[in-house]
Chains A and B, each alone.
Chain A
Amino acid sequence: MKKFLALLLAVMMVISMAACGGNNTDATAAPTDAADVTEAPATDAAEVRENKVILGDITELTGDFTGGLVTNGASDMMIYDLVNDYGTMVANQGGNYVENPTVMKEWSRTDNEDGTATYTITINEGLVYNNGEPITAKDYAFSVMKSCTPFASALSFTSGTKDMIVGGAAAYAGEVNYVSGLHLIDEYTLSLTIVADYANYYYADTYAAVSPWNEEFWLGEGYGIADDGEGCYITLNGEAIVLEGGGDAEANFRAAMSATDGYVSAGPYSITKYDPATSQCTLDINPNYAGNFEGVKPSIQTIVVVRAEDATWADQLKTGGMDIYAGITDGDDINTLLDMIDEGAELRAIAYDRAGYGKIQFLCDVGPTQFVEVRHAVAQLLNRDEFVNTFCQGFGTTVDAPYATCLQMYMDSKDFLADNLKSYAYDVDAANAELAEGGWTLTAEGNEWTSSEDGLRHKDVTGLDVNTDGCIEVGGKTLMPLQIQWYSTEGNPVSDLLAIMLANSDAVAQSGMEIVLTVGDWNGLLGAIYHEDADGNKVAPEYGMLNLATGFTSALYDYSFNWTDDPDYVAMGYNSNYLFDMGEGGLDQLSMDMVYAVEPGDYEAYLDLWQQYIVRWNELLPEIPLYCNIYYTAVPSWVEGYEQNSFWDFADAIVYASIPSAQ
């Protein structure tokens, strides 16, 4: 026994030493097989490279390549985008949806008498998947159909498609096996009929954005899609079926969604190998790819996606463990990157504004934040410029309303916004003047407030239609103290800085205001927003202020229902500011009109309403935009043509990139 143990230990040690040893200097290549290690001539080491880039991504690859249909990991979605690009309409470099002429021959919209609208789409002939199979209208119809079946419910697809297509909801519920609003016209033409509620929508044309999904790859051999005139339905060996969860279809789907190889797709790249054990994915150029919406095809042969780590990403770049690292936001990290470049690293930095911002969100149904003058005062008691510079270490900006500087609407409204938006710059006197004007002039005893020595400011809210929770009764009057309850998630550096620069600042104390911080977890924050306890039961509002972040998706700027006063919708979590600005020119009407009263494509009318909405929002200030990071991406200097922005990520940018020094 002892001899066996000794032998076993010795063998393991030898293997370990063999694996660990060697005099290999390429830290990313295994040292044991000299034939597989490419050694460039010593004199021209930098001249000739492999036509390959290694992308480091901090989010984990989980192997769900369904484009966010099942889960929504950022790395998984990026892989999906790299291998799927035959959408009929796609987002361009500015984040706007444009037609994809590589894929779509023609399309039209017909407004029907019942308020629905029918989109008829004809795709080009000759398109094929990466495995050579032809792409037809059936593949596009299946991508819609899959979300309109009980199968989608069983697999918890996060897609609202079923509610947008006529007949989608009935098919989803299993009442019928066909979708009456989805038709196959001929081999290369399909039509989609959108329900009336969604048809009269500014962004309705985006419903014509469909991508091909190969039925047999996703569901298994024998599955298909057909249309006898009533609408599309799923077939199995030629027979109409109701596609439900369980069985071989679900097993096939689950196997396909994280296929380690053989993933059938139509994009610039194909998955050559996905290895869950190492969390790596290797992709190679799809030779059957016809080009993106501008007809561009990729030239970098291989992309390897590897895991990057917060603590060691710079070392990975230095040692060749990865070549491209996107989305660097932390000031220290950006400085590290810039220092590396200054020290001669073969890198360049691409900077772009984040499409979103960190913010203070006011809940306007409890406490002092019900009053606009208090929200204004809070904004003016915080030196936002200093906050941005401190938090982002010089790599950030700020905005005055809900927009990002990379949004098309902002770019078309720069002068207008400069003239019409108030910046609420740091001004303690102005904040105090607003408070005084708003009636925050009393002490807790009901006397006149003169300075911070009198304690907190109070406002007489007797007879006002406001939530009086937390108020005190003095001499027959109801007085509301200027005390704001603030909820933040734990370990949040934004909160730490806000506590120093706002909540615990002299400016706030001297203004007779108090901001009380409660720290909790993310679920607690959601509970604070939705007024729910840990068990999901509705509770009375408690917090008037939160800090979190928001982002803008490409193309769609839709805040409809976000200012509704419908109690059912509010209970569901719509209008999470609890600010009910109804009527003509109010936030509710403007946000609804922007997308439901403007014809699809009428950008001028949309922009006009967008500007009114932004100005009104800026007046009421339901949130304070705090900081908008400048993102950095590290790209090797030997990669040319790679440009990135918030709406144009790695999957888009790499198609335009090349390695001139590649073999």
Chain B
Amino acid sequence: MKRLVYIVVVFFITSFLMYCLFSLIPSDPARNQLEGVKKSMKPEAYQQMYEELRDKMGLDDPIVIRYARWIGFMPDKQSGEFDGLLQGNFGYSLLRQKDCVDVIKTPMANTILFNIFTTILTLAVTIPLGIWCAVHKGSKLDQGVQAFTILGYSLPQYIIALIFIFVFAVLLKWFPVNGAATPGSTYTGLRELLDRLYYMSLPILVSLFGALGGMSRYVRASMIDALSMDCIRTARAKGVKERVVIYSHAWRNALLPVVTSIIGWFLSVFSGSLVLENVFGLNGMGALYIKALNGSDAELCLAIQMFYTVVALLGNLITDLAYGFVDPRIRVNK
């Protein structure tokens, strides 16, 4: 209960700070919107339309009033009804002239789809790899893996992406250069999903390569610690099978520090990657957020930020609860 109250308080403080920050961005959204048609309008017509827009956007009201309307503590200027964030209205995108929810839903779905597969593949590769390297610590293969994975860790993702495109798309022609689906395809159902996955393969591999160094090292280090524990030595002395020692005894002990990372990975399914989305032409959250920032679309930025704020707050709660689940000695209320 205390944690839930803490989440609510942090949410409101964050929302207010965020709103103030975005309102401080020096811009005149009404003028920006009309800049393109100004040339074709006579001055009086332009001025009338400009003032109408400013009024409609509520740009001349004090920031506290605007915040209260946006969050839903005060009624909307035009409709006279409470219609803010608390009522489920995430705002209106000036850039797209649509409700923010309508703007966000497609990129968010794309991002989630992409990240689910990336996360699962990454964990499926890095965890066994980390365990294997820990068990074979110091072997030539372990050293080789450490050297290879550090490449992905060190190189910028942008460079990795371009190299992968050149090798796998241009030279080998295994994958398309970019895009999200076969141009002009009319696939439906599973076929459509597989087509989407095929187009996602290369960015997923780039993401995996970039993540190999970090996650596998984390697991390896944790497992090495666990394997040096007294209980492991005792288990081995008792003649327990090596596989059981590693996967049952050592891995359970190694899991505690790793679990934060694993949960973080799953929570990151909502996060877009600006680099990958731009290089591979994916319609995701990273690219949308940058466009919103560049376009001074404060409400769209806020909607995205507030969504991530909620995800982060819930993520912290889930991580704390997960500690208790993995290690019964830990309890959240203690």
* A311: interface (CB < 8 Å): yes
Which one of A70, A523, A564 has the greatest number of beta carbons of chain B within 10 Å?
Answer: A523
A509 to B27, CA, bound (A): 35
Across-interface contacts of A319 in B (CB, < 8 A):
169-170, 173, 176-177
* B124: interface (CB < 8 Å): yes
Would A573 and B109 count as touching, CB distance under 8 A? no
Q: B18-46: which have CB < 8 Å to A? A: 24-28, 31-46
Would A561 and B42 count as touching, CB distance under 8 A? yes
Chain A 263-275 against B: per-residue CB contact (8 Å), 1 yes, 0 no?
A: 0000000000101
Q: Which of B46, B96, B124, B170 contacts A12 (CB 8 A)?
A: B124
Would B41 and A160 count as touching, CB distance under 8 A? yes
Q: A265-305: which have CB < 8 Å to B? A: 273, 275-280, 282, 302, 304
A20-28, A174-182, A348-356, A634-642: which one contacts chain B? A20-28
Q: A19-B197, A30-B185, A158-B34 are in contact. Are A568 and B124 (CB under 8 A)?
A: no
Would B197 and A312 count as touching, CB distance under 8 A? no
* B183: interface (CB < 8 Å): yes
Would B177 and A321 count as touching, CB distance under 8 A? yes
Residue of B nearest to A303 (CB): B184
B1-9, B273-281, B309-317: which one contacts chain A? B273-281
* B97: interface (CB < 8 Å): yes
Chain B 52-70 against A: per-residue CB contact (8 Å), 1 yes, 0 no?
A: 1100100100000000000
Across-interface contacts of A64 in B (CB, < 8 A):
96-97
Would A574 and B43 count as touching, CB distance under 8 A? yes
* B165: interface (CB < 8 Å): yes
Count of chain B residues with a beta carbon within 8 Å of a chain A beta carbon: 80
* B215: interface (CB < 8 Å): no
Chain B 187-205 against A: per-residue CB contact (8 Å), 1 yes, 0 no?
A: 1000100111111110011
A572 to B121, CA, bound (A): 56
Across-interface contacts of B150 in A (CB, < 8 A):
none
Would B173 and A27 count as touching, CB distance under 8 A? yes
A309 to B121, CA, bound (A): 26
Chain B 246-281 against A: per-residue CB contact (8 Å), 1 yes, 0 no?
A: 000000000000000000000000000000001111
> SS class of chain A's interface: helix, strand, loop or mixed?
loop
Would A12 and B120 count as touching, CB distance under 8 A? yes
Would B198 and A19 count as touching, CB distance under 8 A? yes
Would A309 and B170 count as touching, CB distance under 8 A? no
Shortest C-beta distance, B265 to chain A (Å), equals 13
Would A156 and B53 count as touching, CB distance under 8 A? yes
Across-interface contacts of A26 in B (CB, < 8 A):
173
Across-interface contacts of B87 in A (CB, < 8 A):
none
A54 to B281, CA, bound (A): 15
* B12: interface (CB < 8 Å): no
* B123: interface (CB < 8 Å): yes
Would A197 and B185 count as touching, CB distance under 8 A? no
Chain A 508-550 against B: per-residue CB contact (8 Å), 1 yes, 0 no?
A: 0000000000000101101100101111100000000000000
Would B281 and A279 count as touching, CB distance under 8 A? yes
Would B180 and A279 count as touching, CB distance under 8 A? yes
Q: Which of A198, A273, A276, A574 contacts B106 (CB 8 A)?
A: A276
Across-interface contacts of A163 in B (CB, < 8 A):
41-42, 44-45
Name 8 extra pairs, CB < 8 A, besides A27-B175, A278-B179.
A12-B120, A20-B197, A27-B173, A306-B281, A307-B283, A309-B178, A309-B280, A321-B177
Measuring CB to CB, which residues of chain B are less than 8 angstroms from any residue of chain A? 24-28, 31-47, 49-50, 52-53, 56, 59, 95-98, 106, 109-110, 117, 120-121, 123-124, 158, 162, 165-166, 169-170, 173-187, 191, 194-201, 204-205, 278-281, 283, 287, 291, 296
Task: Please list the 10 inter-chain residue pairs (A to B) with the smallest Cβ-Cβ separation, ordered nearest first.
Answer: A534-B26, A19-B197, A278-B180, A307-B281, A20-B201, A30-B195, A304-B184, A278-B181, A304-B183, A163-B45
